Amino acid sequence: MAQPLPAIDKKLRTKIESILDKVETIKVRLVSLMGMTHSQDDFGIYIKNIGSEIEKFLKDAVFQNSYNNLNFYNLIEKLRDEGITESTIGNLHELRNYYNSLKHDPSFSTTITEAESKIKKTSDALIEIDSESIGNINSVYIQNTNRILWLCAWDDYIGGMTELNLFLPNYEIDFPYSVEYFNITLEGWDTLKEKYVPTGQLQLGKEFISEKAYNVWSKSADMIGVGRFSGDVRGLIRTLSSLVNKERESALLENLKRKNDSFSVIASIAYAIQDTLLNNNWTDFIDLKDEIRLRMDFDYGIDIDSKVLDFYINKIEKNMISYDRNKLKNIDEILWLNNEQFSKLVVEVQIMNKPSIILTNLNKLAVKMN
C-alpha cells in the first residue's frame, strides 16, 4: 500500500546563490582539468558561458531589467551607482575582457592558470555584491517544481563506486524507465541518506516502490537499497553530481559515462527547458539554447563538453520562440509518456523532435519515452 507523501522543504536558491554556485563549479572543473591533458577549448568554454551568465545576472538580478539596453561594459560601470568598490568593478572588467577575447579573437592565447585567476576574482566580486544585497539578488532563482522518483543503488566494489539509478514510477511494468544514473563514491550512499532521510524527502524500503520493480532489482546481490524520492529533483541531482568519483568515472568506457547516456541527457534537457522557460529571461534563440546548456551543466550535472548534449541541444526547434511567452513561462509539469500515451496529446508547440518534447494544449511539457 502506498504511503502518504512527506512534507517538502520548499526553501529555494536565490539568484546570487545560484551564480555563486556556478562560479564555484567552474573552479572545481578547472582544478580537475589541470591534472589532465587539456586544450584552451577545454577550459575556455567555461569562461565563455559564465561571462554570458554574469551579464544576464547583472541585468536581471542587480538592475532588475531596468538597463537591458546596456552592454556588459556599461552594466559593470553602473555598479558604482550601487556603492560597489573599484576593486570589484576592476575584477569584473577583467573577466569581461578575458571572456570577449576567448569568444571573439581566434588568435587569443591563454593558460588554465590564468582562467583560474579570473574566476577567483569573479567570485570575490560576486561575494561583495552579495554583501550589499542590491537589486533583487535575493529573490528565487527559478520556480522549483517537486517531482517523485524511485531509486535503487548497487555497490560496485571492484570499481570502487556505487551505481545509483533514478526511475520514473510505474506500477504496471517490470522495468520502470531509468532517466538518470550516477557513479558515486562508496561513501556517497550514506551521505545521501544523511541529507534526505531526516527531511522525509527520501523514504527507503521496498514498500515505497512497486513489487515488480523490486523483484527485478533485488536479483542482484549487490543491491544495497531502494526507495522513493519526493521533492526538488534539481537539488537531488546537484547533490548526486557532487558525490561522483570523477577520477574513477573518467576511467570508465565512454558509453558508461553519464554525460554520454542518452536517457540522462534527455531527462536533463527536459528539466532545463522547463526551468529556462519559467525563468523567462532569454532574449533570442541562441540565448535560449545557451541558458538550457548552462542549466544542464550547472543544475543537472551533464558536463558542458558532452557531445550527446550538443546533439540534442541542436534539435531544439527555433520556431518555438515565436509562441506566446506568457504560456511558455507557465509550464507547470513534465509528463513522461510512452508512445501510446504521447499519441493522444494535442500538440501546441513542437519543442524537439526525436526525442519528441512538446508543449501540450494544457500547458504541460511532454516527453515521449521510446
10-residue mean pLDDT profile of the chain (370 residues): values are 35 80 87 87 87 90 91 96 96 96 93 96 97 90 72 83 88 83 88 92 95 92 92 82 71 66 86 88 88 84 85 93 90 82 91 92 86
| Three-state SS at 336 | strand
d(CA 125, CA 119): 10
Which single residue is written with the C-alpha cell 518534447? 357
pLDDT confidence of residue 32: 80
Choose among 5, 44, 13: nearest CA to 295: 13
pLDDT confidence of residue 258: 73
pLDDT confidence of residue 6: 33
pLDDT confidence of residue 1: 36
pLDDT confidence of residue 331: 87
Cross-strand pairs, 166: 151, 180
DSSP 4: P
Rounded to 5°, angle at Cα 281 from 279 and 285 = 110
C-alpha cell of residue 242: 557532487
**Rg value, the chain, Cα:** 21
CB 224 within 8 A of CB 184: no
CB 272 within 8 A of CB 296: yes
DSSP 7: P
**What is each CA distance from 203 to 109, 179, 248, in whole angstroms?**
51, 19, 28
Cross-strand pairs, 244: 184
Q: Is the CA virtual torsion 288, 293, 294, 296 positive or negative?
A: positive
d(CA 267, CA 263): 6
d(CA 118, CA 26): 11
Neighbours of 58 (CB within 10 A): 22
d(CA 280, CA 303): 24
CB 62 within 8 A of CB 133: no
Element (H, E) at 360: strand 357-360
d(CA 206, CA 215): 9
Cross-strand pairs, 178: 167
CB 7 within 8 A of CB 114: no
